[in-house]
């Protein structure tokens, strides 16, 4: 059997982050992934009609996602994310507005934009400012964990319109759940990290190429440099021990590898099938029954003669939450049809519809908010629906999110579902991978 210092099972963002951290310590790493591309749920596919590589969903990060930015820097691809200076909004009828930083220190940098939003009354704006001030005071308070964010926001005097048209779109985007379903501790964290803590935390980061292309080639090139390896298209069957203090990882087809340490970076429902029950803590074994899921629906549109649209546009009072103009972000040729991606999060009823109905709901929302959409001609479309896209950070969820440490030394788990203090995002995945790597390195140093 080939031998490595560490085997990382799962080539999603968490697994990549873990592998990079372990390799940085000078150890050899084998990264195994069952798909043929890396990135996990941050994945892409080939659309035969257009000949394009298309992201399954629109993945974004914010300026406050420092651990994800660090991973991109470690991989040398930080320039593949472009950050927007403004969050653009469109309401029904086509009125536009934006949030952008003024030349003021945090947390006051967004206050001028907030006061200028035309779709909030002065009373709504004052209530929004009060909520932000209150959130800063209670950030990190343990008593928030058992309450939902909508109730907490109401207790500060936040108006229904401020919640519906300003804060809930941000919470849904970050947590894939509405404010009444999100723990107050996570809602407060999102407000503080994105809007208050720094002048750049709110900025939306957009990949300038399909997300799988950001990770796959560069990781394949990086790990072998230090004696490691990346194997895609490899389905791991189980992890056992050899009786001599080593782990043995077995894959479909008969391949086996021996390692001093193993990190399993897979979704929580797949974990019990790969490893012996006694390896895992009760919290790790119990996570599949206790974590709840929410859907995300993406509608990919190729259009002739579309109206002008920003790279990212938040739609108000519609079932479609965002539309992304990928023609601009990817710098596609002007002669090709325009390529947009629309996104709807945390809408179980929409996710249950057939694809044609989902497309029609999305197009109706775009017509309501973007003037000139009636002149656009739909050339091609694809719907991607993920019913179990993320877990929901509901009140009390931290009590069931397990540690990366297991019952076995030199064996750790990773994934955005583990305890990171962040919602189910690429940032949370990166943090889990870093924590799992730290656990392994600490054990190896003993």
Q: What string of H, E and C letters represents the secondary structure of 88-155? A: EEECCCCCEEEEECCCCCCCCCCHHHHHCCCCCCHHHHHHHHHHHHHHHHHCCCHHHCCCEHHHHHHH
Q: Which domain holds residue 337?
A: 293-391
User: What 8-state DSSP symbol labels residue 415?
Assistant: S
Q: Which of 80, 411, 419 is nearest to 262 (CA)?
A: 411
CATH assignment of the domain containing 384: 3.90.660.20
Do 170 and 137 share a structural domain? yes
- Please name the residues in contact with 43: beta carbons below 8 A apart, sequence gap of 6 or more: 35, 37, 55, 56, 211, 212
Residue 423 in any domain: the answer is yes
Do 240 and 176 share a structural domain? no
Tens-digit pLDDT profile for the chain (446 aa)? Answer: 899 999 999 999 999 999 999 999 999 999 999 999 899 988 899 999 999 999 999 989 999 999 999 999 999 999 999 999 999 999 999 999 999 999 999 999 999 999 999 999 999 999 999 999 999 999 878 889 899 999 999 999 999 999 999 999 999 999 999 999 999 999 999 999 999 999 999 999 999 999 888 888 899 999 998 889 999 999 999 999 998 999 999 999 999 999 999 999 999 989 999 999 999 999 999 999 999 999 999 999 999 999 999 999 999 999 999 999 999 999 999 899 999 999 999 999 999 999 999 999 999 999 999 999 999 999 999 999 999 999 999 999 999 999 999 999 999 999 999 999 999 999 999 999 999 999 999 999 98
Do 402 and 266 share a structural domain? yes
Which tokens sit at 13?
């963002």
**Helix or strand run (H / E) with residue 6:** strand 2-9
Tell me which long-range contacts 243-250 makes (C-beta under 8 A, separation of at least 24).
247/7, 247/410, 247/411, 248/1, 249/7, 249/9, 249/32
Q: How far apart are CA 134 and CA 188, in angstroms?
A: 9
Do 373 and 324 share a structural domain? yes
Residue 76 in any domain: the answer is no
pTM: 0.95
Do 354 and 223 share a structural domain? no
Residue 412 in any domain: the answer is yes
**Helix or strand run (H / E) with residue 71:** helix 66-75
User: What 8-state DSSP symbol labels residue 199?
Assistant: S
Residue 363 in any domain: the answer is yes
Do 357 and 304 share a structural domain? yes
Do 311 and 224 share a structural domain? no
Note the helical H segments in 193-255.
Answer: 211-222
Residue 84 in any domain: the answer is no
Which tokens sit at 207?
């990949």
């Amino acid at each position: 059997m080939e031998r490595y210092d560490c085997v990382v099972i799962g080539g999603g963002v968490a697994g990549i982050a873990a592998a990079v951290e372990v390799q940085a310590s000078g150890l050899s790493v084998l990264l195994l992934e069952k798909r043929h591309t890396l990135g996990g749920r941050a994945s892409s596919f080939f659309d035969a009609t257009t000949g394009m590589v298309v992201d399954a969903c629109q993945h974004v990060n914010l300026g406050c996602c420092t651990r994800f930015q660090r991973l991109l820097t470690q991989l040398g691809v930080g320039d593949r994310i472009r950050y927007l200076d403004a969050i653009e909004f469109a309401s029904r009828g086509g009125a536009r507005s934006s949030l952008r930083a003024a030349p003021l220190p945090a947390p006051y940098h967004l206050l001028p934009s907030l006061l200028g939003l035309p779709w909030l009354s002065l009373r709504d704006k004052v209530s929004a400012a009060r909520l932000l001030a209150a959130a800063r005071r209670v950030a990190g308070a343990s008593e928030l964990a058992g309450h939902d964010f909508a109730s907490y926001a109401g207790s500060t005097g936040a108006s229904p319109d401020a919640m519906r048209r300003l804060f809930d779109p941000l919470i849904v985007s970050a947590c894939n759940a509405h404010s009444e379903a999100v723990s107050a501790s996570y809602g407060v964290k999102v407000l503080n990290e994105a809007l208050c803590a720094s002048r750049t935390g709110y900025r939306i980061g957009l990949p300038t190429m399909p997300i799988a292309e950001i990770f796959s080639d560069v990781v394949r090139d990086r790990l072998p440099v230090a004696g490691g390896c990346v194997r895609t298209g490899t389905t791991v069957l189980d992890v056992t021990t050899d009786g001599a203090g080593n782990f043995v990882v077995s894959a479909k087809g008969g391949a086996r590898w021996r390692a001093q340490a193993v990190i399993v970076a897979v979704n929580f429902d797949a974990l019990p099938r790969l490893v012996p029950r006694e390896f895992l803590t009760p919290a790790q074994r119990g996570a599949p029954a206790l974590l709840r899921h929410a859907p995300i629906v993406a509608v990919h549109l190729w259009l002739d003669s579309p109206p002008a649209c920003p790279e990212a546009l938040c739609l108000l009072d519609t079932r479609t939450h965002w539309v992304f103009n990928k023609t601009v972000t990817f710098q596609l040729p002007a002669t090709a049809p325009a390529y947009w991606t629309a996104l709807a999060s945390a809408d179980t009823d929409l996710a249950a519809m057939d694809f044609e109905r989902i497309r029609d709901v999305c197009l109706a929302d775009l017509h309501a908010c973007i003037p000139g959409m009636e002149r656009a001609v739909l050339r091609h479309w694809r719907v991607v629906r993920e019913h179990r896209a993320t877990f929901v950070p509901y009140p009390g969820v931290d009590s069931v999110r397990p540690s990366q440490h297991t019952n076995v030394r030199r064996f750790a788990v990773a994934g955005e579902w583990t305890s990171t203090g962040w919602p189910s995002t690429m940032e949370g995945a990166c943090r889990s991978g870093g924590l799992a790597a730290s656990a392994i390195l600490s054990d190896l140093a003993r």
